Amino acid sequence: MHRRKRASKELPSDQESTELRKTNKGMAMSERSTIRNDRQLLLTSGQLSMCVIPDRMVDPHTKMLLHYCTQSFWPGFEIGSAAFHIPPFALDYNTLVAQGPALVHACLWQAAVNLAFKRNSRVTDKQSLLHYNQAIAHISKDITKPVSEIPEQTLYAILSLCGPEMSPDDGNGIIKKAFDPPLAELSWIHVFGSRLLIDSHAKALMNLVDLKGGIHNVKYAGFQASFNYMDLVRATQKLVKPHLPVSQLYGRVKETHDRAKFFGYASDFVEHSPFEESSVIIDSLSVLGLAEDVREVICDMRVWVKVIEAYHHSALTNPDLSLLAAHRDLIQQRLLATLPDGYDGKKPMQMDASGSTETTADRWINEIIQTALLIFSLGVTCPISYAPPYHHAAQRLQAQLILYKERATHLGLSDLLTWLGMLGLLCTEQVGSGLREWFVGFLSMVEEKRGVTGDARDWDLVKKESLELMLWSSVACDTAADTAWRDVQEVADETSWNWGRTAWSTMLGTICG
């Protein structure tokens, strides 16, 4: 963990006043939202409104950060029947202060980072930087103790320092939203997923959790959920398997809500059956060797898309955002668990030493579909607004398509290739990658080999025949994909015209000869 230099300038008083007004406004909005969902609360609106300011922390800036923590930041992890992420000390300020100085300063720093994110800037005010330095000092002192004597509050303090700061010009942001998913800001994922978590802090935290006997030995349930969430976001950003096992805290969610019950919203889908979530394409892939756990994840994600799209259209009778967040996290955990041990999505594709021709169908099918599912999760089901994993996944998918496209064509998997190519195209468009042109050309080639007339299919037909039968979200993907498919059609038409002109010239030359 590193020390930050103190800023030379203090936050102007007028800016403090502005933030305080914004916080008070947010408090009112939070209060209205809390009352609206009162049937589902673990924490009541009254509890979240307790504002006992400690006498030793009375400067306006700290007051503003404390108000923001209890009235906006912690409730932003979603209040409801699965409000796992709201920590036990979030009920009032006195309880927070009683946790010890390391946690107090770390939580105030986390609030400052969150507020700075809203301003699309880094934290520069002296008061917030002082909280960071104080947190580092107290944590450094705590971790010199024997492991058994390090309080869990210190672990949560380290977690509070893992969150990234916004750097608008670092090139790691999203340029254009080719994916525009529902619930893109659920449980602060748009903040924590916007930049890579500070890895030194994250590794230190996970090491301490391991030394204390694992996540299930963490006494505070809210800490377990928060550690899992940090680990999940980090793994998704880095395209690796999570380090920590899923907390037992999620047990009751998994027991009472699953795909067969539309993740708790079966009453809103009486005309649909979750057991119809397979398709001709998925069944054919299973025959060819698609792993059962990968197939299950695909079916989970297909049902989950129905749920979040229903939320988008206000078609869920009684939406519980905390439960939606819990199911999103569990589905992403399940997807990442299908990756082989040691998987690193950032590394370039390596051909087998024996040559790619030795790769069996079941192996390459699972590898390429896992890459596509990672892209879909980044853009739709567990949306991450951090550019590097999109670049890495697109490069990996391109390499896999180059290696395996002929075999897929030979097996009659043109619809699969279209789905893979479209996800690759959207992935590159999301981050302004130069690989977009390659994926347009690839899709044009697939259409050319597929069609009898040489013309590319219309968009509606492509979506019905090739995309929806695999995994697709009309809400999140259609706008950009429809436009992109026109580029594919233009390339296909141009290729067809050039081929026709060449063929006619050859025929004419033969006749004249």
Could you give phi then psi for residue 110, rounded to 5 degrees? -60, -40
Q: Are residues 226 and 292 in the same domain?
A: no
Mean pLDDT of the chain: 83
**Residues 291 and 422 placed together within one structural domain of the fold:** yes
Instruction: Render pLDDT for 71-115 as a digit per residue (tens, 0 to 9).
Output: 889 888 877 778 777 887 776 667 777 888 999 999 999 999 999
Does a structural domain hold residue 48?
A: yes
Question: CA 201 → CA 60, 122, 160, 189, 230, distances in Å?
Answer: 29, 18, 9, 19, 11
**Residue 23 CA, distance from chain mean position:** 27
- Could you tell me if residue 329 is inside a domain? yes
Query: Tell me, what DSSP letter sits at residue 245?
Result: P
Place of tokens 């995309």: 467
pTM of the model: 0.85
Q: Which of 211, 243, 275 is a domain's end point? A: 243
Q: Is residue 400 part of a domain?
A: yes
Please list the helix, strand and coil fractions of the chain in percent, rounded to the nearest 5, in that order.
65, 0, 35
User: What are the pLDDT digits (tens) for 123-155?
Assistant: 999 999 999 999 999 999 999 999 999 999 999
Residue 453 is predicted with a pLDDT of 56
Residue where a domain stops, chosen among 243, 272, 297: 243
Least confident of 265-269, 487-491, 495-499: 495-499
The answer to whether residues 280 and 178 belong to one domain is: no
Residue 424 reports pLDDT greater than 90: yes
Q: Are both 18 and 52 inside the same structural domain?
A: yes
Domain assignment of residue 123, yes or no: yes
Q: What is the mean pLDDT of residues 304-311?
A: 97
DSSP strand E in 382-499: where? none
Position 310 pLDDT exceeds 70: yes
**CA 437 to CA 416: how far, in whole Å?**
19
Query: Is it the case that residue 504 has pLDDT exceeding 90?
Result: no
- Give percent above pLDDT 90 in the chain: 60
On whether residue 358 sits in a domain, the answer given is: yes
- pLDDT at residue 84, rounded to an integer: 78
* pLDDT, tens digit (0-9, with 9 covering 90-100), for 216-263: 999 887 889 899 999 999 999 999 999 999 998 888 787 767 888 899
Q: Does 512 fall in a domain?
A: no
Give whichever of 188-192, 369-373, 498-502 has the largest mean pLDDT.
369-373
d(C-alpha 290, C-alpha 362), whole Å: 6
Residue 6 lies in a domain: no
Residue 249 counted as domain residue: no
For residue 294, which of 102, 302, 475, 429 has the smallest C-alpha distance? 302
Amino acid sitting at position 441: G
DSSP state of 357: G
Domains contained in the chain, number: 2
Residues 348 and 275 occupy one common structural domain: yes
Q: Are residues 107 and 207 in the same domain?
A: yes
Confidence of residue 59 (pLDDT cuts 50, 70, 90): confident
Cα separation, 51 vs 93, in Å, equals: 6
* Number of residues that this document lists for the chain: 513
Select the more confidently predicted residue: 274 or 21. 274
Q: Are residues 132 and 272 in the same domain?
A: no
pLDDT of residue 26: 38
Residue 64 in contact with residue 20, Cβ under 8 Å?
Answer: yes
pLDDT beyond 60 at 510: no
What is the mean predicted confidence (pLDDT) over 474-481?
Answer: 98
For residue 154, the model assigns a pLDDT of: 95
Q: Which two tokens stand for residue 462?
A: 């492509």
Query: Around Cβ 143, how many Cβ atoms within 10 Å?
Result: 16
Same domain, 215 and 302: no
pLDDT in the model for residue 256: 67
Both 374 and 239 in a single domain? Answer: no
- For 333-375, the pLDDT digits (tens) are 999 999 999 999 998 876 544 445 568 999 999 999 999 999 9
Rounded-to-integer distance, Cα 504 and Cα 513, Å: 14
* Claim to verify: residue 20 and residue 119 sit in the same structural domain: yes
- Does residue 486 carry a pLDDT above 80? yes
DSSP 109-153: HHHHHHHHHHTTS----HHHHHHHHHHHHHHHHHTTS-GGGS-HH
Contacts of 145 (CB under 8 A, 6+ apart): none
* Residues 268 and 358 both lie in one domain: yes
* Mean pLDDT, residues 26-34 taken together: 35
Do 237 and 276 lie in one domain? The reply is: no
Express as a percent the part of the chain with pLDDT over 70: 81
Residue 235 DSSP SS3: helix
What is the pLDDT averaged over residues 268-276?
A: 80
H-assigned helices in 239-359? 251-256, 280-288, 292-312, 321-337
Residue 49 confidence (pLDDT) above 70: no
Q: Of the residues 186, 212, 243, which one is the last residue of a structural domain? A: 243
| Average pLDDT estimate for 421-428 | 98
**pLDDT above 50 for 42:** no
Which residue segment(s) compose the domain that 432 sits in?
Answer: 254-503
